[in-house]
Amino acid sequence: MNRDATAAPPRRGRPRSEKARAAILDAAAELLLERGLAAVSMDAVAARAEVSKATIYRWWPTKETLALDALYREWATVPPAEDTGSLRGDLLSLACPWVRRASMRPYGRVIAALLTEAQTDPVFAREYRARFLQPRRDQARAVFRRAIARGEITADTNVEVALDVVFGPVYHRLLHGHAALDELFVSDVIDTALGGIFAASRSGTRPAAGHHDGAHLHDEQQAHEERQDEDGGALPAVRGVAVAGRREDHEEHRGDRRVHDQAHSLGHEVVVPDPEVDRDARVGR
């Protein structure tokens, strides 16, 4: 008997469960970006993906965990940072594709909703950090390790703080939406951050007493997260961030008003700069 004649035909394409999972993630991502997390339900995702709710709950117990995986899948296609031979080039290679993706669609409100959930759910907070936050910080840590190996910066550079300095402003604009989030802004942020980092390296500045290097601070960060989990806490309170944002806006407004009043008192004409003109001038530099 010909064994080939009786062999089962090879399976073609992806397994049905994998196709269903991909359809669910695609549907969830579309709905999140169209409506926001609060307006998305498992019923709506099931209808869009053409699956049953039971199929969704097989993989995701809540819509927040589904949203987290959908967001992770959306951003997993962002290319990793290239080794350009310089810290500045590597950081631009890491951050610019991420910013292009983030500015294409309303990802800010999705991330804000996930952060809100992480404030009250310690289990979800751990998942958020593990799935969304840490992979990006790990990529950036690798960029700084290469810079240390090349001798661009000293080995005692506080990498964890440097990561916050570089990416904190990006998240600030993404979440608040008060100004453009684009590659020009990213370039300015990186140049500003590296100005301080390179200056410290050139001067031979070492951490002051009580200051820790990047590796130690990373360990402390992990210990801090473990203490939060033990205490039943999630992420630091968002309200403080919101208050800080309002305070920044107030100070900026007060500073602008002070300049305006001083010019007016001296009898000078007050000229309000055109942001578009200023922007074009910076791009052309």
Number of domains comprising the chain: 3
Q: Is the pLDDT assigned to residue 172 strictly greater than 50?
A: yes
Residue 88 has a pLDDT of 97
Q: Tell whether 213 is covered by a domain.
A: yes
Domain carrying residue 275: 241-283
Per-residue pLDDT, 3: 45
Minimum mean pLDDT range among 60-64, 191-195, 215-219, 281-285:
281-285
The verdict on 161 and 216 lying in the same domain is yes
pLDDT-derived band of residue 15, with 50, 70 and 90 as boundaries? low
pLDDT at 138 over 80: yes
Per-residue pLDDT, 220: 54
Residue 73 lies inside a defined structural domain of this protein: no
Residues 87 and 58 in one domain: no
- State the average pLDDT over residues 251-271: 45
Co-location of 100 and 153 in the same domain: yes
Mean pLDDT of 183-203: 92
pLDDT of residue 103: 86
- 230 and 127, same structural domain? yes
The per-residue pLDDT for range 244-258, each reduced to its tens digit, is: 444 444 445 445 544
| Domain membership flag for residue 257 | yes
Helices (H) and strands (E) in the chain, counts: 14, 0
Distance between CA atoms of 141 and 263, rounded to whole angstroms? 46
pTM for the model stands at 0.65
Interval 70-122: pLDDT, tens = 998 888 888 888 999 999 999 999 999 999 988 888 899 999 999 999 999 99
The dihedral over CA atoms of 96, 116, 67, 103, expressed in degrees to the nearest 10, equals -20
Q: Region 270-282: what's the mean pLDDT?
A: 45
Residue 58's pLDDT band (cuts 50, 70, 90): very high
Percent of the chain exceeding pLDDT 90 equals 53
Instruction: Mark whether 56 and 165 lie in a shared domain.
Output: no
CA distance 188 to 28: 34
Average pLDDT, integer, range 190-199: 94
Mutual angle of helices 107-120 and 63-75, in 10-degree steps:
140
